[in-house]
């Protein structure tokens, strides 16, 4: 299990755990990021940019560190 | 049994101050909104006499307890099922204090028919357009202000799922309940040749909306009429059908759809969204290399601001042309820019009024007040407008094209250092032109604490008005272009660093709290739609006129009074007015570094009205038409000049900005915090700079 900021560009991951309070979880859920969701890493220079379904989302490094994922591809 | 027999909703225990009905078509997200509003604390009640279960829940908003009733979803008012009939009857009986009409943005066209049907019956409605974010991502834009104006009821865009817009929705409902914006008129459609029949039917129903429904053949309404009324309506329904070859309900529906056609044509725009491939290509350029991204971002901001500045005041293009030897071109730009045209109009108006009043033997002081106080004051409000409008256009372009979100990511690297997210670059960029729209733009920041931190420090950013004063004073103080440019760059660097520093200070002290981290969705790139741009920029500019106008106008009368009323009454000469006394008092603060002129003291005070007035006040005080002469008459040394310039750039923001800080934070504390922060920073720095300059020079 790695955190989201440690994943290389182009990999596909699944969210396993979110280390954070209710506020953070709610913010992430409102963008569709919740446990079990699969996403691609598009960019990890600066904020992590992920591709989730149709939309691209930028996530600050601090938050990315709190999102634990497992690599699928 | 219908709902009017239970109009007090006694079966609901303890229903609070108001009862609100939640009405929606199926799949609009009604349950989600209901859960969001009531925190899923709703409970099931059996509607008396019906086997229909309805949910109700309570919300406390601004100290009032509201009961929200979740009525069964209903496709339109032409219904048959028991559940749908219940909803329809409740709307027809009009027994609620207000209705939330929830609409799915994805099917707005379809929903508008339903909206019109309901609005013909009641205007105690707030329309909530759900899933707004979803359709915006697909490139659709809805002009909410235009729709509101056409429909005559408040409209709020929400995302029930993401809990966006819920606060504003509740605010609109409270406004409606407290009758803050009461509109007596219900929404009215002109049915043309059917109008005489509607009027006739209204005699039996006592209500236009019900009359239309009766003509449509609504059994429920027909049942409520007396025998004679019922027979009459049936008779004219036949008459209409024979006369026009269509049944009345068909004619009515056709008219409504025509209205909907007009509404959607005027209020909905579809733009083409860039393909995924192109989006990835642009994002690769923007986001893979931070330095390149930063250069592109700065380039976009600076070039758009440059265009906005030039259209507004001719500056800085006029100077560039002049340097190139194209004096004539420079003159044309200097005269025929938006700001120039407006000031020409007002000076003509002022002369005209003066002539008329002088002919009518009106006392001099009154003429002076009207022309130099009131007309000049209105002119001051309006002369800001082109700049604010242009900046809004430019920023709306950046926002609507999808570039803004990328820039937020790029600037995040800088703003993170002081605990702000990259989104805060946006208000800062706007503030370079004008602090007022800059403060309004902080609304894009999600976290209130972060928003207030930015608002409090934002006026340290030098705006165009201050830039004009700066350029003017520099040209009076220095002859060398190198010294002029150097000082300009120095002051801007100072201004941005102080903004960052001040944000850091308030984050650590007055506005402590967790530092926010960036998280945002990247919208697809698309060519900005001209109509969307004009909606956004007009809405934002309009709010400026209303807010700032209320303050700038009376303030200009006060300034006139200070400059023209003295211990002996009216005087045309500021030397004998209260302005002299006040100016002398203020400048005492600068006596230790040898600045003594009361004119400067007064200019600092009037500069709070609008920064450009600093120059004007100096000119009036020295009774000269040429402000350059006035500045030279001050005989300032270079350290004194630099010190004064620093102070003018950084001291209290103008009154429009102060007013906007208050209206956006609703807190006197933040206004005072800002004033204290800027006054002390400006004062301390002006001394430091004076002493450093004295040591060096």
The pLDDT tens digits of the residues spanning B679-693 come to: 999 999 999 999 999
- The answer to whether the beta carbons of residues B102 and B28 sit under 8 Å apart is yes
* Cα dist from B20 to B65, B160, B173, B217, B253, whole Å: 11, 17, 9, 28, 28
Using only C-alpha atoms, chain A has a radius of gyration, in whole angstroms, of: 11
Cα separation, B582 vs B572, whole angstroms: 17
Cα separation, B296 vs B317, whole angstroms: 22
Verify that B418 and B464 share a domain, yes or no: yes
Taking CB atoms and an 8 Å limit, are A49 and B283 in contact across chains?
A: yes
Closest-CA distance of chain B to residue A42, Å? 9
Chain B (405-434) residues lying within 8 Å, Cβ to Cβ, of chain A: 405, 408-410, 412-413, 416, 421-422
What's the rounded mean pLDDT across residues B151-175?
87
With respect to residue B185, please indicate whether it lies within any of the assigned structural domains. no
Question: Which residue from A30, A55, A59 is facing B162, i.e. has the nearest CB?
Answer: A30
Question: Which residue from B163, B408, B522 is facing A49, i.e. has the nearest CB?
Answer: B522
Copy the structure tokens of residue B296: 């592109």
Q: Measured between beta carbons, which residues in chain A are less than 8 angstroms from residue B289?
A: 45
Verify that B573 and B663 share a domain, yes or no: yes
Cα separation, B133 vs B120, whole angstroms: 28
Cβ atoms < 10 Å from Cβ of A18: 19
Taking CB atoms and an 8 Å limit, are A46 and B410 in contact across chains?
A: yes
User: Where are the strands (E) in B544-677, listed by range?
Assistant: 565-566, 569-570
pLDDT reported for residue B3: 45
Q: Measured between beta carbons, which residues in chain B are less than 8 angstroms from residue A31?
A: 162, 519, 521
Best CATH choice for the domain A2-71 from the list 2.30.30.90, 2.60.120.200, 3.30.70.240, 1.10.3210.10: 2.30.30.90
Q: Considering only B171-180, B498-507, B516-525, B618-627, which range has the smallest mean pLDDT?
A: B618-627
What's the rounded mean pLDDT across residues B100-124?
86
Question: Does B132 or B120 have the greater pLDDT score?
Answer: B120
With respect to residue B230, please indicate whether it lies within any of the assigned structural domains. yes
With tokens 């207000």, the residue in question is B98
Cα separation, B239 vs B236, whole angstroms: 5
**Among B280, B517, B523, B525, the residue to mutate for chain A (most A Cβ within 10 A):** B517
Taking CB atoms and an 8 Å limit, are A58 and B410 in contact across chains?
A: no
B524: which residues sit within 8 A by CB, 6+ positions away?
B137, B139, B273, B274, B276, B279, B402
Total domain count for chain B?
4
% pLDDT > 90, chain B: 21
Nearest CA in chain A to B416: A60
Verify that B168 and B222 share a domain, yes or no: no
Taking CB atoms and an 8 Å limit, are B521 and A55 in contact across chains?
A: yes
Nearest CA in chain B to A66: B517
Verify that B290 and B263 share a domain, yes or no: no
Q: Is the pLDDT of residue A25 over 60?
A: yes
Taking CB atoms and an 8 Å limit, are B520 and A57 in contact across chains?
A: yes
With respect to residue B248, please indicate whether it lies within any of the assigned structural domains. yes
Last residue of a domain, one of B147, B177, B207: B177
Taking CB atoms and an 8 Å limit, are B283 and A28 in contact across chains?
A: no
pLDDT reported for residue B14: 60
Cα separation, B287 vs B284, whole angstroms: 5
With respect to residue B376, please indicate whether it lies within any of the assigned structural domains. no
Question: Which residue from A27, A46, A57 is facing B412, i.e. has the nearest CB?
Answer: A46
Q: CB contact, 8 Å: A20 with chain B? A: no
With respect to residue B142, please indicate whether it lies within any of the assigned structural domains. yes
Q: Which residues pair with B80 in a beta bridge?
A: none
Taking CB atoms and an 8 Å limit, are B413 and A58 in contact across chains?
A: no
The predicted-structure confidence for B335-345, as pLDDT tens digits, reads as follows 788 877 887 88
Question: Does B172 or B11 have the greater pLDDT score?
Answer: B172
In chain B, count H helices and then E strands.
Answer: 32, 12
| Closest by Cα among B205, B171, B12, B10 to B98 | B171
Taking CB atoms and an 8 Å limit, are B519 and A28 in contact across chains?
A: yes
Is 0.90 exceeded by the ipTM? no
- The answer to whether the beta carbons of residues B161 and B132 sit under 8 Å apart is no
Verify that B571 and B448 share a domain, yes or no: no
Closest-CA distance of chain A to residue B250, Å? 42
Taking CB atoms and an 8 Å limit, are A59 and B518 in contact across chains?
A: yes
Phi, psi of B154 (to 5 degrees): -65, 145
Q: What is the full DSSP assignment across B657-694?
A: HHHHHHHHH--HHHHHHHHHHHHHHHHHHHHHHHHHHH
What's the rounded mean pLDDT across residues B423-446?
85
Q: Considering only A66-70, B182-186, B633-637, B665-669, which range has the smallest mean pLDDT?
A: B182-186
B549: which residues sit within 8 A by CB, 6+ positions away?
B381
Q: Is the pLDDT of residue B137 over 80?
A: no
Q: CB contact, 8 Å: A30 with chain B? A: yes
Confidence band (pLDDT; 50, 70, 90) for A4?
Answer: very high
With respect to residue B53, please indicate whether it lies within any of the assigned structural domains. yes
Instruction: Kindly report whether the global pTM for this prediction surpasses the value 0.90.
Output: no
Q: CB contact, 8 Å: A35 with chain B? A: no
Cα separation, B503 vs B458, whole angstroms: 9
Verify that B591 and B498 share a domain, yes or no: no
Nearest CA in chain A to B280: A42
Question: Which residue from A28, A58, A62 is facing B409, i.e. has the nearest CB?
Answer: A58
Verify that B223 and B319 share a domain, yes or no: no
The predicted-structure confidence for B438-487, as pLDDT tens digits, reads as follows 898 887 787 778 889 999 999 999 988 898 888 888 888 887 878 888 89
Angle between helices B655-665 and B448-457 in degrees, nearest 10: 170
Nearest CA in chain B to A46: B413
Verify that B238 and B163 share a domain, yes or no: no
Residue A24 class from Cβ within 10 Å (0-12 exposed, 13-18 middle, 19+ buried)?
A: middle
Verify that B31 and B120 share a domain, yes or no: yes
Verify that B101 and B128 share a domain, yes or no: yes
- Relative to beta strand B64-70, strand B125-130 is unpaired
Cβ atoms < 10 Å from Cβ of B563: 26
Verify that B258 and B337 share a domain, yes or no: no
Cα separation, B202 vs B271, whole angstroms: 44
Cα separation, B583 vs B577, whole angstroms: 10
Domain of residue B429 covers: 285-349+385-512
| Closest by Cα among B465, B325, B277 to B386 | B465
Helical H segments across B4-141, by residue range: 30-38, 82-93, 108-119, 132-137
Taking CB atoms and an 8 Å limit, are A43 and B162 in contact across chains?
A: no
With respect to residue B538, please indicate whether it lies within any of the assigned structural domains. no
Verify that B161 and B210 share a domain, yes or no: no
With respect to residue B537, please indicate whether it lies within any of the assigned structural domains. no
The predicted-structure confidence for B64-88, as pLDDT tens digits, reads as follows 888 888 887 776 676 555 666 777 7
**Among A44, A47, A51, the residue to mutate for chain B (most B Cβ within 10 A):** A47
Closest-CA distance of chain A to residue B301, Å? 21
What's the rounded mean pLDDT across residues B41-66?
65
Q: Domain locations in chain A? A: 2-71
Cα separation, B1 vs A60, whole angstroms: 58
Taking CB atoms and an 8 Å limit, are A43 and B287 in contact across chains?
A: yes
- The answer to whether the beta carbons of residues B370 and B356 sit under 8 Å apart is no
CA angle B410-B411-B414, nearest 5°?
120
What's the rounded mean pLDDT across residues B195-214?
91
Cα separation, B394 vs B77, whole angstroms: 44
Taking CB atoms and an 8 Å limit, are B519 and A31 in contact across chains?
A: yes
């Amino acid at each position: 299990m790695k955190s989201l900021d440690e994943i290389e560009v182009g990999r596909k991951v699944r969210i396993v755990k979110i280390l954070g309070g209710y506020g953070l979880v709610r913010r992430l859920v409102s963008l569709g990021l919740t446990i079990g969701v699969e996403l691609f890493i598009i960019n990890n220079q600066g904020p992590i940019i992920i591709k989730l379904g149709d939309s691209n989302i930028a996530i600050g490094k601090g938050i990315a560190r709190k999102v634990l994922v497992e690599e699928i591809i | 049994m219908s709902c009017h027999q239970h109009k007090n909703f006694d079966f609901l225990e303890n229903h609070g101050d108001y009862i609100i009905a939640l009405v929606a078509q199926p799949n609009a997200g009604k349950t989600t909104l209901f859960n969001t509003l009531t925190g899923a604390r709703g409970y099931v009640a059996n509607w008396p006499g019906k086997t229909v279960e309805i949910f109700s829940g309570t919300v406390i908003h601004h100290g009032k307890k509201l009961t929200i009733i979740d009525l069964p979803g209903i496709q339109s008012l032409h219904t048959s099922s028991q559940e749908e009939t219940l909803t329809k009857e409740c709307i027809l009986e009009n027994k609620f204090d207000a209705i939330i009409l929830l609409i799915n943005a994805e099917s707005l066209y379809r929903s508008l028919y339903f909206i019109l049907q309901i609005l013909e019956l009641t205007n105690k409605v707030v329309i909530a357009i759900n899933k707004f974010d979803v359709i915006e991502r697909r490139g659709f834009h809805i002009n909410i202000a235009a729709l509101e104006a056409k429909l005559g009821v408040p409209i709020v865009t929400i995302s029930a799922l993401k809990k966006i817009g819920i606060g504003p929705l509740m605010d609109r409902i409270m406004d409606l309940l407290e009758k803050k914006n009461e509109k007596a008129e219900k929404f009215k459609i002109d049915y043309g040749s059917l109008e005489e029949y509607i009027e006739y039917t209204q005699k039996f129903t006592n209500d236009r909306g019900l009359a239309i429904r009766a003509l449509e053949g609504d059994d429920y309404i027909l049942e409520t009429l007396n025998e004679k009324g019922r027979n009459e309506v049936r008779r004219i329904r036949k008459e209409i059908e024979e006369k026009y070859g269509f049944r009345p309900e068909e004619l009515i529906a056709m008219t409504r759809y025509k209205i909907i056609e007009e509404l959607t044509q005027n209020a909905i725009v579809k733009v083409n969204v860039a393909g995924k491939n192109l989006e990835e290509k642009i994002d690769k350029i923007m986001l893979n290399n931070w330095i390149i991204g930063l250069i592109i971002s700065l380039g976009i901001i600076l070039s758009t601001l440059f265009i906005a500045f030039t259209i507004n005041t001719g500056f800085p293009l006029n100077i560039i042309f002049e340097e190139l030897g194209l004096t004539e071109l420079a003159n044309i730009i200097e005269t025929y820019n938006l700001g120039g045209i407006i000031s020409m109009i007002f000076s003509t108006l002022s002369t005209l009024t003066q002539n008329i009043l002088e002919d009518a033997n009106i006392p001099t002081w009154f003429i002076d007040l009207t022309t130099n106080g009131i007309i000049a004051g209105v002119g001051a409000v309006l002369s800001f407008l082109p700049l604010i409008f242009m900046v809004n256009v430019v920023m709306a372009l950046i926002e609507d094209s999808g570039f803004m979100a990328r820039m937020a990511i790029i600037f995040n690297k800088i703003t993170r250092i002081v605990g702000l997210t990259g989104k805060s670059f946006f208000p800062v960029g706007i503030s370079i032109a004008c602090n007022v729209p800059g403060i309004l733009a902080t609304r894009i920041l999600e976290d209130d604490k972060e928003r207030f931190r930015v608002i409090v420090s934002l006026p340290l950013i030098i705006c165009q008005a201050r830039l004009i004063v700066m350029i003017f004073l520099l040209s009076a103080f220095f002859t060398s272009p190198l010294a002029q440019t150097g000082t300009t760059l120095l002051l801007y660097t100072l201004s941005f660093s102080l903004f960052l520093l001040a944000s850091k200070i308030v984050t650590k002290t007055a506005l402590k709290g967790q530092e926010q981290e960036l998280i945002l969705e990247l919208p697809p790139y698309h060519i900005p739609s001209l109509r969307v741009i004009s909606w956004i920029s007009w809405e934002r500019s309009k709010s400026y006129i209303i807010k700032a106008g209320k303050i700038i106008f009376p303030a200009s009368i006060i300034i006139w009074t200070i400059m023209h009323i003295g211990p002996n009454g009216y005087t045309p000469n500021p030397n004998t007015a209260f302005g002299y006394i006040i100016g002398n008092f203020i400048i005492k603060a600068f006596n230790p570094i040898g600045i003594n002129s009361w004119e400067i003291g007064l200019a600092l005070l009037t500069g709070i009205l609008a920064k450009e007035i600093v120059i004007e006040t100096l000119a009036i005080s020295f009774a000269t038409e040429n402000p350059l002469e006035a500045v030279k008459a001050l005989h300032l040394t270079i350290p004194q000049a630099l010190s004064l310039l620093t102070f003018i750039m950084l001291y209290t923001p103008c009154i429009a900005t102060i007013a906007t800080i208050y209206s956006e934070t609703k807190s006197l504390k933040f206004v005072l915090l800002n004033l204290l922060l800027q006054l002390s920073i400006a004062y301390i720095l002006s001394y430091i700079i004076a002493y450093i300059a004295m040591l060096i020079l």
